[in-house]
Chains A and B, each alone.
Chain A
Amino acid sequence: MQISVQSEDFDLAQVLKGFGKAPNTGATVSFTGLVRDDMGTLEHMEIEHYPGMCEAAITKIAEEAATRWSLTDCLVIHRYGQLRPGDQIMMVATAARHRVEAFEAAEYLMDYLKSRAPFWKKEVTRDGADWVAAKDADEEALNRW
């Protein structure tokens, strides 16, 4: 298992190269989140985080996923600081014996990282800056697990 909370970018190909190498792995799934600019006005996104609690919260979420879906490997990278449109914000990767477990575990990780990992996004646009509000749907998404 690998958890990293970092300001610097990551090389997706490089990260996945060393991932899920256990011989009983039959499937790996990876997801990458990018900074989206819907209106074409986003200058940058500021991601604030709670050092220490971030690592602890993500580790707990990843351990739960690893147990529940018998993962053979699990990885989470989440960035903080100033990011620009198109930049990679975060990624998760899961490895399991079969694809269903790998897919489900990746979705579980994403659902929990969204509302249980202490990060806060602020969008700085041409028209001003505002904190991204959490959505009710994000909280409801946890109910399916």
Chain B
Amino acid sequence: MKIEVLYFAWVRERIGEPRETVETEAATVMDLIKELRAREPRYDLAFSDLKSLRVALDQELTEFDASLEGVREVAFFPPMTGG
């Protein structure tokens, strides 16, 4: 399946691009992270501390063990600092 993967703030800076289309069979967010980390050091670095990361599936905040079934858009970012 094809998934749009978006990166924001320092995650975007470490990976070096704001978004990409990823071809994957990952079942969960965690599986996708493992695949990405294995790709290149910049991904490995960006995902090295999951406590400082948040994930949204189709624009809804969720947990790392969430299923990717039917998901079109995954976004990774640091804790939000709005307001």
Residues in chain A within 8 A of chain B (CB atoms): 33, 48, 50, 52-53, 56-57, 78, 89-90, 110, 113-122, 131-134, 139
Contacts and interface: CB of A to CB of B under 8 A. Distances in A.
Q: How large is the interface on B (under 10, 10 to 19, 20 to 34, 35 or more residues)?
A: 10 to 19
Interface of B: 6, 8-10, 12, 56, 59-61, 75, 77-83
29 contacts: A33-B83, A48-B12, A50-B8, A50-B56, A50-B59, A50-B77, A53-B56, A53-B59, A57-B61, A78-B82, A89-B83, A113-B82, A114-B80, A114-B81, A117-B80, A118-B82, A119-B82, A120-B9, A120-B77, A120-B78, A121-B81, A131-B78, A132-B81, A133-B78, A133-B81, A134-B78, A134-B79, A134-B81, A139-B79
Given A110-B83, A113-B82, A134-B78, A118 B56 contact: yes
